[in-house]
Amino acid sequence: MKGHGFSQRIVIAIIMIIAALNGFALDAGQAGQKQEKRKLSGRNYTVSRATSQIKLDGVVNEKAWSDAVVIRLPYEWNPGDNIPAPVDTDCMVTFDANNLFIAFRCFDPEPSKIRAHLMDRDATDILIQDDHICIMVDPFNDERRGFQFRVNPLGVQADANFSEMEGYEDFSWDTIWNSGGKITDWGYSIEIAIPFNQLRFPKGTEVQTWGFSAERSYPRNVRHRMTSHKRRRDINCILCQFNKITGFKGMKTGLNLEVDPTMTANRTDKMDEFPQGAMENGKVMANPGISVRWGVTPNMILNAAVNPDFSQVEADVAQLEVNTRFAVRYPEKRPFFLEGADFFLTPMEAVFTRTVADPTGGVKFTGKIGKNAIGFFGTVDSINNLLFPSNQSSFSTSLEEDVTGGVFRFRRDVGKNSALGFLYTGRAANGDDDYYNHVMGFDGFLRLSRTKTLSFQYLHSETDYPLHTASSYGQDIDAFGGNALKVGFNHMSRNWIYAVGYEDFSPGFRADYGYIPRVDIRAANGQIDRVFWGKRGSWFNRISVGFRGSVLYDYEGKLTDGTFMLNTLYMGPLQTTALIQISQGRQFYAGENYDLNGGVLFVEMKPMSGLRFNVTGVYGGTVDYQNERKANQFYLEPFAEFNLGRHINVNIRHNFQNLSLKGDKIFTANLSQVRLIYNFSVRTFIRAIVQYLDLSRNTDLYLFPVLPKTQTFFTQFLFSYKINPQTVLFLGYSDNYLGMTGIDVTQTDRTFFMKVGYAWTK
């Protein structure tokens, strides 16, 4: 890599920081704030080996379940406050050498009202509306990280990893496990088998104790959520309240090896000349690849990929990008980056893996040894994605140049629930271009008490753009550096929530492996909320009223943003949520100050099984960034999702945005999106996605030439057969259409797509 002097300093700093953190013995929770000693509510259970074979058919009738430990779910923690659960639920836990087994008996006085639909794996927006169960395990019993598994009565799966310190619940994480469900005349039952080679747990031969939580979601007029342990509202941590299950010993992971060969093929046809040209057939592009996941030990995982399959088979939800200042963020969905993604979390989003576009290879190593968590990944990419931030706006570009990059993360547990960490990210061009970006710094999470936490992060960056890139995008032509600091204090108790934070990003700070869309800022923010809780059967479940305020200055001391907001939240029957925000603020843009007042309204209801709808409305003053003046905006986003029987799901979303000047329209944008899914089974579905954008502009109110009308149309059709997250068959088709003033909507391209993947585990 380029920037060798800086790289040498990084290596020395890494060694020094790791040595310092390993020698750090102070319990951060006792540094002026002694940790409370009161015993929490979770009970201890001893599990034993299964006494018979188990068939995962959802029928809990094997001898192994009769002999297994029974963990009951007696508490409703939401909306009730650890009140008796409205229905009975039993959870059974056992294991053998290769699998962790869990079963549920979910009793229901009215089984006909059970909500259960077929859907794709990890379709959590739909799943959480169904009856379902959830278990979470904390194999290291360190109350920092958990693995979550959810199943509905038809056996539909969802899984996620959870990081306590960041409050991070990521359903993009996937692992291979088995489940079965069955609806009965007394409720429903579920069986689960999780292979030990899919989990991370401490290495050793001693008997192990894990954190464990069993939960059931029972959605009716309200969504009752019940657990196996009390979940207190005056404690701002989740994993620390879990039950403990002990007795695990002699688990085998085999070779702990997973090999995932893939083959993707596609053909893209494009119009040779828009709008009157002919559609020219493209070449069929076949792209074989292979990924390997090896558990070096039960707690250390090595991932490697050659020509990895980073294809997207699901279209990103379209977003209106009219009159925006900063780059739009899209979520990561690619399996290679999702494995161990929580190891790379920090208070700033300094690692955002969608900056890696088209790698020819990659390697990743993540794991935990004692109190030390380590993560590393490196890639060789044929595209260099760059984001150029500033105080006023940001923009991005993609350069066709080979770059090599890597991320190193180290975190040391300190005290009961605190941690200190170190992060390095680096990227450099492989060819003649004199490009590099290095970022290095430290961070921490300190639990000061059961309700109060403090987080912080400091980063320093060094960057050098190629001369032609720097000149084209208005960046420094010489190498430059920058600093970033983020600090946050939070208090969350039963009745009060308050927080304060500070951010400082110098003009020269760049994090090319991350998502930092704004720099040249010094910002402070704060909030305070009072929470009121209803009783079972009352007209509300929860009401909160609060205030939020923020100020943001640039490095020259200019106030560029200031906001004061009144916030009210209501949650009640029919699973209703209503949010009202009224704001007053000031914004500086392009040399002018603008006083901006407005409001936001959000309402959502889930009144019956298989039906969800909501609407978001925004009205008030804003800035017309393209024409650099004050304007009024009206934004409306209605959404509806409903199921027709168990098999069909329909999802409809519309975005309407209107910008006006003294009553005259500047532009009107309409973006419609429809998803129609037919689920044959838990493994197979067909899906159609349609997205249509209609943008009309009043050319008389623009200070530069624009087209009066622009239209785009996108369709995607997909057949999916999925045995597990890696053993899949996808067949797809998509196309794009474009229309504008004087030109009808015309097809510009079409793509045929196929993917075959297989997971071989041993």
- Determine the pLDDT at residue 434: 84
Q: Which domain holds residue 106?
A: 35-248
- Determine the pLDDT at residue 253: 84
Who contacts 710 (Cβ-Cβ below 8 Å, separation ≥6)? Answer: 693, 694, 695, 739, 740, 741
Q: Is the pTM of this model over 0.75?
A: yes
Collapsed DSSP state (helix, strand, coil) of residue 547: strand
CA 742 to chain centre: 42
Strands 257-271 and 243-248: unpaired
List, for the chain, all residue ranges whose pLDDT scores fall below the cut of 50.
1, 3-4, 6-7, 10-11, 14-15, 17-18, 21-38, 315-316
- Determine the pLDDT at residue 16: 53
* C-alpha to C-alpha distance for 2 and 427, rounded to whole angstroms: 9
Q: Is the peptide bond before 79 cis (omega within 30 degrees of 0)?
A: yes
CA–CA distances in Å: residue 266 to residues 91, 336, 757: 46, 21, 15
Query: Which of 360, 100, 292, 337 has the alpha carbon at shortest distance from 759?
Result: 292
- Specify the DSSP element, H or E, that contains 5: helix 4-22
Query: Which of 443, 511, 455, 446 has the alpha carbon at shortest distance from 483?
Result: 511
Residue entry with tokens 């998803």: 675
Q: Write out the two tokens for 141.
A: 């019993």
Residue 66 located in a structural domain: yes
Collapsed DSSP state (helix, strand, coil) of residue 298: coil
* C-alpha to C-alpha distance for 214 and 22, rounded to whole angstroms: 35
Eight-state DSSP code of residue 255: T
* C-alpha to C-alpha distance for 762 and 758, rounded to whole angstroms: 13
- Specify the DSSP element, H or E, that contains 472: helix 467-472
For the segment 92-112, what is each residue's pLDDT rounded down to a tens digit? 999 999 999 999 999 999 999
Residue 95 located in a structural domain: yes
For the segment 404-460, what is each residue's pLDDT rounded down to a tens digit? 999 999 999 998 889 999 999 999 998 767 899 999 999 999 999 999 999 999 999
Q: DSSP strand E in 164-298: where?
A: 168-170, 178-183, 187-195, 208-219, 223-227, 243-248, 257-271, 279-280, 284-297
Residue 298 located in a structural domain: no
Confirm if 722 and 698 have CB atoms less than 8 A apart.
no
Domain of 241, CATH number, reads 2.60.40.1190
- Determine the pLDDT at residue 330: 65
Residue 644 located in a structural domain: no
Confirm if 394 and 387 have CB atoms less than 8 A apart.
yes
* C-alpha to C-alpha distance for 387 and 383, rounded to whole angstroms: 13
CA–CA distances in Å: residue 678 to residues 443, 644, 719: 46, 10, 10
| Count of structural domains, the chain | 1
* C-alpha to C-alpha distance for 643 and 72, rounded to whole angstroms: 32
Who contacts 222 (Cβ-Cβ below 8 Å, separation ≥6)? Answer: 79, 541, 572, 573, 575
CA 133 to chain centre: 21
Through-space distance between the first and last CA atoms of the chain, rounded to whole angstroms: 37
Burial 398-434 (b: 16+ CB within 10 A, else e): ebebebebbbbbbbbbbbebbbbbbbbbbbbbbeebb
Residue 304 located in a structural domain: no
- Specify the DSSP element, H or E, that contains 684: strand 684-697
- Determine the pLDDT at residue 317: 52
- Determine the pLDDT at residue 361: 86
Neighbours of 353 (CB within 10 A): 20
- In one letter, which amino acid is 262? T
Residue 160 located in a structural domain: yes
Confirm if 373 and 411 have CB atoms less than 8 A apart.
yes
- Specify the DSSP element, H or E, that contains 170: strand 168-170
* C-alpha to C-alpha distance for 312 and 380, rounded to whole angstroms: 19
Residue 52 located in a structural domain: yes
Collapsed DSSP state (helix, strand, coil) of residue 127: helix
- Determine the pLDDT at residue 150: 97
- Determine the pLDDT at residue 539: 95
* C-alpha to C-alpha distance for 408 and 13, rounded to whole angstroms: 12
Confirm if 379 and 353 have CB atoms less than 8 A apart.
no
Confirm if 170 and 150 have CB atoms less than 8 A apart.
no
Residue 204 located in a structural domain: yes
- Determine the pLDDT at residue 311: 54
